[in-house]
Amino acid sequence: MSSSNHSNQAVVPSAREALNKFKMEAAQEVGVNLKQGYNGDLTSREAGSVGGQMVKKMIEAYENNMK
């Protein structure tokens, strides 16, 4: 990772909202109960499941757009 000075504050609010919605959908699909706000009490396995599902959905969307 580069040591640039970007922060989450630089993200357009509508983009952050869309990503959050996407994350919530992915969590629901793998049976992880995400809350709005702080989710630091998730286990590594739960967090990994959500992240993995998000990647899977992104790859599927990419492949569908390539057809």
pLDDT tens digits, 19-46: 999 999 999 999 999 988 899 999 999 9
Residue 10 pLDDT > 90: no
In a domain, 4, yes or no: no
Per residue in 16-53, is it b (16+ CB within 10 Å) or e — as a string? eeeeeeebeebbeeeebebeeeeeeebeeebeebbeeb
In a domain, 2, yes or no: no
State the average pLDDT over residues 2-25. Answer: 77
In a domain, 7, yes or no: no
Say which DSSP state 58 is in: H
Residue 29 has what pLDDT?
97
Residue 64 pLDDT > 60: yes
Which domain, by its residues, includes 44? 12-66
In a domain, 3, yes or no: no
Q: How many domains does the chain have?
A: 1
In a domain, 44, yes or no: yes
